[in-house]
Amino acid sequence: MKKILLLFASICIVVSGLQAQTQLEKGKILAGVTSTLAMGGSEGSELFGLGFGSTKYKHGSEAPETHYKSFTYNILPKGGYFVMDNLVAGLEIALSGHRERDVEDDDVYKMSDLGFGPFVRYYYPLEKIYPFAEAELLFGSHRDTWGDEVEKYPMLIIGFSLGAALPLGEMVTVDGSIGYTRAQWTWEDVEEGGSNKEICSGLGIRIGFSIYL
């Protein structure tokens, strides 16, 4: 009896693996989009957030006053091809930005990023969930706007993440992951000569969807 149960369990595991492979097999196409959960509204937060925020100051016993209001967004659409079972490679676009308004004088500060580059994701499909590891390398530009002043810098983004995809039917999964992102902006110092670099890095939680065609 035990042997029969073990054999039945083994068959179930193999069948569930085959069902997972139907979505992740070589030749399939992946199309997806993710966004990172909000982690604040400071410099560089456009890489790690999606949401609204405000900054308040309090003096003595006076009621707190709002001085700044902000909005941050982060969207990463991607498309890829399964070069082998469970391994997809493709291109990803990073669209992110941060807008901050001074409530008193209505001055607005904006920064935005546009990146484009390759990504790879490897799945390890289980019965009801598909764990994965992903890496990305994006090149693009960072733009700062303060009033009429506009500055642009070249940008490099490197990211690594671990996550899992939860199937919703045969063609769609909900994806969740946590990972490390490092962004670097470079600009030339006209007055002193040489180049300067600004580096922003941190952990982020991403939520999104993938479609398998």
106 CB-near residues (< 8 Å, 6+ apart) = none
Q: What percent of the chain has pLDDT over 70?
A: 68
CB 94 within 8 A of CB 76: yes
Task: Give the bridge partners for 149, in sequence order.
Answer: 146
CB 51 within 8 A of CB 38: yes
Residue 5: its pLDDT value, please? 39
Residue 185: its pLDDT value, please? 81
Is the pTM for the entire model greater than 0.75?
no
CB 12 within 8 A of CB 128: no
Q: With a cut of 50, which residues of the chain have pLDDT below it?
A: 1-21, 39-46, 48, 50-59
Residue 23: its pLDDT value, please? 78
State how far the Cα of 75 lies from the Cα of 91, in Å rounded to an integer: 14
Residue 14: its pLDDT value, please? 39
Domains and CATH numbers, the chain: 2-212 (2.40.160.20)
**E strand map for the chain:** 29-36, 51-57, 65-84, 87-102, 108-123, 130-146, 149-168, 172-188, 195-212
The CA-atom distances, in angstroms, between 74 and each of 3, 21, 53, 103 are: 53, 31, 15, 24
